[in-house]
Structure 1
């Protein structure tokens, strides 16, 4: 079976990217990362890609005169490398509806909360402030809203009495590193079907 190609968008360290690289290497993921794209030229994730022999492309937002130009360059790079799915792995920019509509049902994101609770920034801080007992992470398809697309899978994490944003984020990140490869495997094997807001996972 030939590997399906994904493009990964990143902004920082790339720990979720590394979790995918590791699961490709051990044979769990029948995927090829065709390109890694960052909005920051100094993102460590680009170094991870280069070490793995993957095309690493920096498209700094500040060097583009408009969001349209910025997203156009990302779209062009993804298509040039044959990406079939766009994976947001710590990409810290909101994609426009125009971009999302070019990749309808072909963008997935991981968010450090059990959506629809606590979308947007500082999800762990929101969870602690609200006083929830269970937090976690969500892998979902991206639509035009903020963290509002159909949910693929979720991983729960208990909130401890002495948790800080940092300690809770660290424990959620452990689950993120499991959730993203799991969701990508389901996609690669053709087991996901979107029905309205629901994602049906076929056996």
Structure 2
């Protein structure tokens, strides 16, 4: 068995995506080991990681004199665990220059719409208001823009008559979580590189 891909997961909340990743990583065949979980605030996901025996750290923006200082410290904390992959699983802070300089090309995030449509924090609401019939979730490699990185994978979720934002958001979450777990495993087992606007496996 080759050495598993080392992953650090960043969170800001309850950690349902984190829970799914921790669960998947218990299988040695998954190919990814979660070596640490970091957060920008005290949240239930940290307790979840600790229960699973995974090291945790917290780096709050307000504990630093500037956003840049926070970004540098976050970068150092993540780098200390020597990850091959960094995964944002509901991490609500934008990574800065230092972080992207260190982890660019191997920092993944998931968005609850089919990018490039409906970027930003209200993906399901914006999709619903626009009247699209299909939305979904996008896994992408983070760059310096807002949800503009190279797309790894997408999953479609139909918009149903009578959907409100909560119902649509919940359905997207399920598909988003499944996609995240599947593709983190694939990327971990097969390796990948970014070429232009494409992610190439292997």
What band does the TM-score fall into relative to the shorter chain?
Answer: over 0.9
Partner of 2:87 in structure 1? 87
Partner of 2:34 in structure 1? 33
- The correspondence of residues 96-111 of structure 1 with structure 2, limited to 5 A, is 96-111=96-111
Question: Residue 189 of structure 1: SS of its match in structure 2?
Answer: helix
Structure 1 segments unaligned to the other structure (5+ residues): none
CA displacement 1:104-143 (0-9 Å, x = unmatched): 2010001000111111111111100110100110101011
Number of residues of Structure 1 aligned to a counterpart in Structure 2: 201
Q: Residue 170 of structure 1: CA displacement?
A: 0.4
Structure 2 segments unaligned to the other structure (5+ residues): none
- The correspondence of residues 84-163 of structure 1 with structure 2, limited to 5 A, is 84-163=84-163
Q: Is the 8 A contact 2:72 2:98 kept in 1?
A: no
Partner of 1:18 in structure 2? 19
Normalization by structure 1: what TM-score? 0.94
CA displacement 1:51-109 (0-9 Å, x = unmatched): 00001111111111111111112111111112121100100111123421221201000
Stretches of 4+ aligned residues off by more than 4 angstroms = none
Partner of 1:172 in structure 2? 172
Partner of 1:72 in structure 2? 72
CA RMSD between the two structures: 1.3
Q: Is the 8 A contact 1:28 1:185 kept in 2?
A: no
CA displacement 1:34-60 (0-9 Å, x = unmatched): 11110002x111011000000111111
Q: Is the 8 A contact 2:10 2:87 kept in 1?
A: yes
Q: Residue 166 of structure 1: CA displacement?
A: 0.6
Q: Residue 27 of structure 1: CA displacement?
A: 4.2
